[in-house]
Chains A and B, each alone.
Chain A
């Protein structure tokens, strides 16, 4: 029940395309769902996050879609650029829990070709 399943493992899109990364969770107690972006040699950087009281959140070119009944959420990157090439991780946590530890997906390696 603690797992977060992420797909696809890797993704190649052309510049301007809209890559979509999907995640699914089992634990219905999770109530905070962030996405992190990680470049080689760097730590994960918070990109955008959503709570289950909304179905969609947009920040710049990044959009999270959230389906509470299906226990799924996804990241869309609009007008993708070569600089978006990185590994993306979804995560989940229970904010009211003892530690708010993050449970991460396995990551998606995105390559945006010029």
Chain B
């Protein structure tokens, strides 16, 4: 069974803190994605990576950075958390093109106080 895991289900941080969200997939997929999900807005792409050490900005990259040092692991970094980054963060992986299945992790609900 394919599996995408995320390091935390719930996280509470203070404004200004550096936040790391980690995602691991066990399917040897090339592509990995970070989305945030807010009510009424659907899933919005923050960053994606199509190979180790490669990354591309999504639709809302401001305030975020990413790291992909190993194929199975894709990290999302909030350099200085702000209250408007309170959201559900979803990681996904995909083998090939946009028509392939994306496999999602369970999500991390981040609250920034």
Q: A and B: partners?
A: no
